[in-house]
Structure formats: C-alpha cells, structure tokens
C-alpha cells in the first residue's frame, strides 16, 4: 500500500472523542481541534508484516502475509504559545489513551485514524536560537479511513 503524502497546505486535527465505529461517517461527528505549527509530518499508513515459510516437502519457500502493522506518524512542531491543539497533543502524551486524528490534505482528501501519542519531546530549535520546537510520535491503533 502506498502511504498518503503529507503536503504543503495540509492540516492536522486531534479529538479526545472517539468514533463509535472506524468509519468516515462517525469521524465526521467528532469535535476537532487543529494542531498548528506542524512543520513536518511523516508517513501514514498500514503495512503487512510478512512471514517466510520453508516447508520440508517443497523445493522453494513461500512468503505470506502475517500481521497488519501500523506506522508511527512523527510530527515536528514549532511551539506556539496558547495553541489548543498542541496542548491537547501534549496532554495526550501523558495518558495511555486513544485519540482521534484527522488529516485534511491540501487537495481536499481527508484521512481519519485512531492513535496514541507515545512520545512528546521539546527542544531548542535546530538553529540554536530562541525558537523552540517539539517532536511527537503518534502510533496508529487502527486502519486509516479514507474520505
């Protein structure tokens, strides 16, 4: 599967509410808060783990699908004072809880998914000046819903 590309003009949202079902119609009903200041986002998608089987009665091995694995979506963020989306993201990193995410692409494509924020690290900006930034890692807990 090809991962959706995160492009310029893309907006990322978070919600502490979860959909009843992993379906676009349920995600649409959630209250969303934009995470502003996102400088860079990684890949989003699902990947099948494969397993190699070597059977003694065959002259060749086989490769089969194993377990469906989810990508970790890293977000690089410029910290913005008072940004509600960043505050929710920070709070989510302190909890073992699922959150809903929405990615609105510049070309109007929308992706929904449920994930946990497993990492949130702040540091001084790469240029060594007073700009501070953060890196968060979001671990998908279910398949991506395309809308």
How would you write the pLDDT of the chain (147 residues) with one tens digit per residue? 444 455 678 999 999 999 999 999 999 999 999 999 998 888 887 888 888 888 888 888 888 888 888 888 899 999 999 999 999 999 999 999 999 999 998 887 899 999 999 999 988 756 665 467 899 999 999 888 988
Q: Does domain 11-146 have CATH number 3.40.50?
A: no
Positive or negative, the Cα torsion across 104, 105, 110, 112? negative
For residue 87, give the 3-state DSSP assignment.
Answer: helix
CB-CB contact of 116 with 97 (8 Å):
yes
Q: In whole angstroms, how far apart are CA 27 and each of 30, 40, 100, 145?
A: 6, 24, 8, 9
| Residues linked to residue 121 through DSSP beta bridges, in sequence order | 135
CA distance 52 to 67: 13
**Domain parsing of the chain, residue ranges:** 11-146
pTM above 0.85, yes or no: no
């Amino acid at each position: 599967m090809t991962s959706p590309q995160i492009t310029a003009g893309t907006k990322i949202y978070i919600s502490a509410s979860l959909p009843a079902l992993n379906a676009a119609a349920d995600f649409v009903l959630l209250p969303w808060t934009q995470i502003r200041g996102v400088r860079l986002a990684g890949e989003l998608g699902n990947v099948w783990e494969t397993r190699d089987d070597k059977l003694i009665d065959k002259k060749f091995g086989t490769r089969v699908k194993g377990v469906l694995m989810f990508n970790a979506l890293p977000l690089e963020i410029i910290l913005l004072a008072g940004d509600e989306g960043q505050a929710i993201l920070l709070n989510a990193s302190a909890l073992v809880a699922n959150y809903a995410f929405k990615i609105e692409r510049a070309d109007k494509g929308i992706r929904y998914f449920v994930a946990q924020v497993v990492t949130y690290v702040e540091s001084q900006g790469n240029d060594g000046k007073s700009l501070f930034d953060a890196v968060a890692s979001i671990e998908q807990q279910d398949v991506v819903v395309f809308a």
